[in-house]
Structures are given as C-alpha cells and as structure tokens.
C-alpha cells in the first residue's frame, strides 16, 4: 500500500516560450532534446505552442540528510510505542528545513534525482480530479537544477487551449498555483526514524508534531517532517510523480523559497505593520510596563480564543467610520493606524475616568498592576478591531485566514499551522446545520485527535467565516 502526497507551488512563468524553457534546461545542465518531438509523442498528436499554453513551474525541492549517530535499527521502543526503524540517514540538515513543504513532506536529494523524470508524460488536471477524460493537458518536460543546498525540479506543463476559461484564468493570474501529486511506497519520520507504509503505521511525531522542531543529541535544532521514499527502494527511490493540478489557491504561505512555497493571498506584510503598533507605542506607555503587557498577551488574554460565549465581530468593537469603510490597496496601513489610535484613545479615556472618579479608581493600591491591566485591555481591543477590519475587507476565506494567522503571530497568539489549514477546508460553521456536524468535519479534516484548544480555534474561525459570508456574499471564495 502506498501514500499519496500533494504539494502546491507558485507558477514561475505563466506563458513560457520554447526559447525560455531552453534557458531553464541550460541552467539545469539537462541534455538537449527536441521538445516538439517529445511533446508530440506524449500528447499523441502534433504539438504546437499555438494550441497549448506552456507554463513553467518550480514544483518541488530536495533536502539533504544526516546520518544519526549510534542509532539502533529494527523494531525499537520509543516511549510507550514500538517503531520500525530501517534507515539511519533520516535527520534533515538544519539549513535545509526551509525546503520542507507546507504539508510537512520532503524528498532527499538522491530520491528526487531518481524520481523527478516520472513527471514527464503525467496528466495536468484541475483541483486533483484525476479522471483521464478530464485532463487539461500534460507535463511535457522536467529538469533538475542543483542550487547547492537543494535541488529544484522544474516542470513544463502544456495546457490545451481548448479549455478557454482555464487558459484565460492562468494568463490573467487568477489561477497561479500548480499542485503536484505523487505516490510514495513509504515515508520516514525525520525525528524518530519510524518507517510507515500507510497511515496506520505513522508514529506520534508525524501524527501530532509534524512541522514542529526538536533538538537532537548534539543540540542542533531540526524539523519534524516525512521523508518520502529512500534511495534503496528501486530505481525511482519509491516515489512516482503522477500529476500536476491547477488549483485556485493553496492553504496559505509557508516559510520556504519563492518557487516552492504556497502563495499567499495577503498583500504586503501584515506582520511587519501590526508589529509596528507595539514597537512604536505612544508616549503614555512606560517601556517596562509595555514589556510586561506583551508577556501577558497570551492566546486567551488578548485574542480571547478560550471564550466561546462571546460572539465575534460585534459592531461595538469595530473602528467607527474613517478609511476602514473604503480600504482597498492600503488596508493594512489603515488597520495599523486604527489600532494605534484605538490603543491611545482607550488609555486616555481610562485615565480621564480615573481622574473624574477617584473613588472608583483602583490605581492607588498598585499602580503598576493596574497599568499592566490597562495595556492588556487596550491590546485586546486593538486586536479585535484588527480582526474585524480583516473580516470586512478580505476578499476570500483563504485571504482572511492567512492574514489572521499572521496577525495572531504578531500578537503572540500561537495556533498550529495545520489548524489554520483545516479551518480553511472546513469553512463556515453555518453550512453544517448543527455543531455536531461541524465538529465531525473538523475532526476528519485535521486528521489527528482534535483537542479542546484546536476545536475552540476552529469554531471561532468558522463563526468569523459565517459572518463574512452574511455580510459580503459576493466576495466569498
């Protein structure tokens, strides 16, 4: 039994010429071949660029691995579980962590060089609907470029121009992502070395900690991922690339290089701009108290992820009027401005109230504690206002969740990335009818035990997506 693995990548060139692809071949030191003859053979009919849109995509990258010293092979007990460790070369080199894809999958250099030619001749589908009659074209070439710490695999996809709307969407940039599919004979955990041939044999590291990091015996920080295949598994390393699909948009961006990562729907870095709110506090903020307030900005205190009774997005918390009603290109700058003003206004208002009502003020006994509470409260309001602004202006569910993830990171709200991905796939809460059905969908999509913290996050995102749909129905998805 084999795994199926998928990974999305940004299109490098939507409409590449034969000459342009020749340069890619040259950079890869790939043997010169007659592309027209090769494409005609694959397509089963004469090939002409007039009839096919040629698209270049850097679709997957390799990692380098280290041998694990003094490792015991065979069936080994790790904690309370027994794993099957067949190989000793399963630690991903720290400098290669960026080449692990957003799904936590990776390919060693040797395996990728053995397997990448299986791309050639594979079908080009839409959204992984793998029905040959619905093929949109074929992959007519693939090359491997050695960039030093990784090998990039570039593919040339020929999309039949008879699919007019698809071609139009590709050329306009509306569809800018290709997602490859492959079958894998077995995968290897890059932390414990367990080898699995199907889902039932996965170790706890992969089930519950994929894409997290650990420190090895020598103190090096390494990523937890699945290595697909192994050089000893036949001529293809146990990996067969079977298709490349056009997808409307992947889950959200990952922290890897430009041609291998999933694209983000988010405009300029929200993280940098939101962080500016905290890095440039008003004069009223004492530096020491600011640091203490930041330390108190936990998931439940600032973001309110633990409070399910409160409905998100009430009008009372929304910034009133101003540029947020008409934001387009400058949405994130406006959010930051509103956040800053909101914090200052809240702090000043509370100071005025204390001055007018000294008998009600609790500042006298412990001024530092009260200041910290105020900063925390102001930060919470600022966060909520930013979330509401995102809800009002995001054009798609993906854009909203992607931006929310970055905003949360800036405010110190830690949520596993797979929870965000699962929330996008599950979508709005109201489409399920009952909470039981929604929770069931969350469980199936997350593909690991759903703990209370994960469920709270997914319910809150589901509610937000419901509100977005009711207020902005024309712009959803």
Report pLDDT digits (tens) over 327-364.
Answer: 333 444 444 455 555 555 555 555 555 554 544 444 44
In a domain, 94, yes or no: yes
In a domain, 111, yes or no: yes
Contacts (Cβ under 8 Å, ≥6 apart) of 266: 253, 399, 402, 403, 406
- Same domain for 279 and 156: no
- Here the contacts of 278-285 (C-beta below 8 Å, separation 24 or greater) are 278/379, 278/410, 280/340, 281/343, 282/340, 282/343, 282/344, 282/347, 284/344, 284/347, 284/348, 284/351, 285/347, 285/375
Which CA distances in Å does 338 have to 114, 298, 385, 474? 54, 22, 8, 26
Tell me the C-alpha distance between 55 and 20, whole Å. Answer: 10
**Which of 196-200, 290-294, 431-435 is least confident?**
290-294
Helix (H) or strand (E) segment spanning residue 106: strand 105-106
Would you say 254 and 422 are in contact if contact means Cβ atoms under 8 Å apart?
no
Would you say 89 and 65 are in contact if contact means Cβ atoms under 8 Å apart?
yes
What are phi and psi for residue 83, nearest 5 degrees?
-115, 165
What are phi and psi for residue 391, nearest 5 degrees?
-60, -35
In a domain, 465, yes or no: no
- Same domain for 160 and 92: yes
- Same domain for 65 and 198: yes
pTM: 0.54
Would you say 224 and 179 are in contact if contact means Cβ atoms under 8 Å apart?
no
In sequence order, which ranges of 265-365 are alpha helices (DSSP H)? 270-279, 287-295, 331-356
Q: Other CB atoms closer than 10 Å to residue 219's CB: what's the count?
A: 6
Query: How confident is residue 5, by pLDDT bands cut at 50, 70 and 90?
Result: confident
**Among the three residues 414, 429, 453, which one is the final residue of a domain in this structure?**
414
Helix (H) or strand (E) segment spanning residue 8: strand 3-13
- Same domain for 236 and 279: no
Would you say 341 and 349 are in contact if contact means Cβ atoms under 8 Å apart?
no
In a domain, 73, yes or no: yes
**Among the three residues 247, 282, 302, which one is the final residue of a domain in this structure?**
247
Q: Per residue in 293-312, pLDDT tens?
A: 344 334 444 445 544 333 33
- Same domain for 70 and 10: yes
- Same domain for 116 and 241: yes
With residues binned 3-state (H G I as helix, E B as strand, rest as coil), the percentages for the chain, rounded to 5, are: 45, 20, 35
Query: How confident is residue 131, by pLDDT bands cut at 50, 70 and 90?
Result: confident
**Among the three residues 414, 447, 469, which one is the final residue of a domain in this structure?**
414
Tell me the C-alpha distance between 335 and 299, whole Å. Answer: 20
- Same domain for 224 and 274: no
Query: How confident is residue 450, by pLDDT bands cut at 50, 70 and 90?
Result: confident
Q: Per residue in 64-106, pLDDT tens?
A: 999 999 999 999 988 778 999 999 999 999 999 999 988 899 9
* Domain containing residue 381: 270-414
User: Is 123 in a helix, a strand, or coil?
Assistant: strand
Q: Other CB atoms closer than 10 Å to residue 304's CB: what's the count?
A: 18
- Same domain for 197 and 123: yes
Q: Per residue in 207-225, pLDDT tens?
A: 888 999 999 999 999 999 9
Tell me the C-alpha distance between 133 and 49, whole Å. Answer: 22
Tell me the C-alpha distance between 127 and 139, whole Å. Answer: 16
Contacts (Cβ under 8 Å, ≥6 apart) of 433: none
pLDDT given for residue 10 in this prediction? 83
- Same domain for 226 and 276: no
Nearest to 140 by CA among 36, 58, 240: 36
Tell me the C-alpha distance between 250 and 246, whole Å. Answer: 10
In a domain, 32, yes or no: yes
Tell me the C-alpha distance between 339 and 386, whole Å. Answer: 7
Which structure tokens are listed for 203? 């170790």
- Same domain for 364 and 218: no
Residue 139 clears pLDDT 90, i.e. is over it: yes
In a domain, 298, yes or no: yes
In a domain, 202, yes or no: yes
Query: How confident is residue 371, by pLDDT bands cut at 50, 70 and 90?
Result: low
In a domain, 463, yes or no: no
pLDDT given for residue 341 in this prediction? 54
Looking at every residue in the chain, the average pLDDT score rounds to 75
- Same domain for 168 and 211: yes
- Same domain for 150 and 275: no
What is the greatest pairwise CA distance in the chain?
Answer: 89
Total number of domains in the chain: 2
């Amino acid at each position: 039994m084999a795994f199926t693995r998928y990974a999305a990548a940004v299109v490098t060139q939507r409409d590449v010429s034969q000459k342009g692809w020749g340069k890619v071949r040259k950079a890869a030191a790939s043997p010169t071949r007659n592309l027209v003859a090769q494409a005609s053979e694959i397509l089963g009919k004469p090939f002409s660029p007039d009839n096919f849109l040629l698209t270049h995509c850097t679709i997957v990258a390799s990692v380098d691995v280290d041998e694990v010293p003094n490792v015991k092979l065979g069936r080994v007990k790790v904690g309370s579980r027994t794993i099957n460790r067949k190989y000793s070369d399963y630690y991903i080199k720290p400098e290669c962590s960026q080449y692990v894809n957003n799904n936590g999958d990776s390919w060693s250099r040797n395996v990728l060089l053995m397997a990448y030619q299986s791309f050639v001749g594979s079908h080009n589908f839409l959204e992984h609907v793998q029905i040959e009659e619905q093929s949109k074209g074929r992959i007519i070439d693939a090359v491997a470029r050695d960039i030093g710490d990784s090998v990039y695999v570039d593919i040339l996809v020929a999309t039949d121009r008879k699919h007019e709307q698809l071609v139009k969407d590709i050329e306009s940039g509306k569809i800018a992502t290709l997602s490859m599919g492959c079958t894998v004979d077995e995968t290897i955990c890059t932390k414990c070395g367990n080898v699995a041939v199907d889902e039932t044999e996965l170790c706890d590291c992969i089930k519950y900690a994929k894409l997290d990091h650990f420190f090895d015996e020598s103190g090096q920080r390494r990523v937890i991922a699945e290595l697909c295949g192994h050089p000893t598994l036949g001529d293809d390393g146990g990996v067969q690339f079977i298709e490349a699909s056009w997808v409307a948009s992947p889950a959200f961006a990952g922290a890897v290089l430009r041609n291998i990562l999933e694209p983000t729907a988010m405009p300029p870095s929200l993280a940098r701009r939101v962080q500016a709110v905290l890095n440039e506090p008003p004069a009223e903020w004492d530096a020491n108290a600011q640091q203490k307030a930041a330390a108190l900005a936990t998931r439940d205190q600032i973001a309110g992820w633990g409070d399910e009774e409160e409905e998100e997005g009430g009008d009372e918390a929304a910034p009133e009027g101003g540029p947020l009603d008409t934001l387009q290109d400058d949405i994130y700058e406006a959010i930051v401005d509103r956040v800053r003003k909101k914090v200052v206004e809240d702090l000043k208002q509370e100071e005025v109230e204390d001055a007018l009502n000294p008998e009600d003020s609790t500042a006298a006994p412990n001024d530092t504690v009260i200041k910290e509470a105020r900063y925390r409260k102001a930060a919470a309001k600022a966060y909520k206002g930013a979330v509401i602004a995102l809800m009002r202006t995001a054009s798609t569910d993906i854009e909203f969740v992607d931006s929310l993830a970055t905003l949360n990171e800036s405010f110190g709200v830690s949520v596993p990335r797979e929870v965000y991905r699962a929330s996008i796939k599950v979508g709005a809460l109201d489409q399920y009818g009952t909470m039981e059905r929604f929770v069931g969908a969350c469980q199936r999509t997350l593909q690991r035990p759903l703990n209370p913290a994960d469920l709270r996050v997914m319910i809150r995102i589901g509610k937000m997506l419901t509100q977005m749909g009711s207020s902005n129905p024309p712009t959803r998805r």
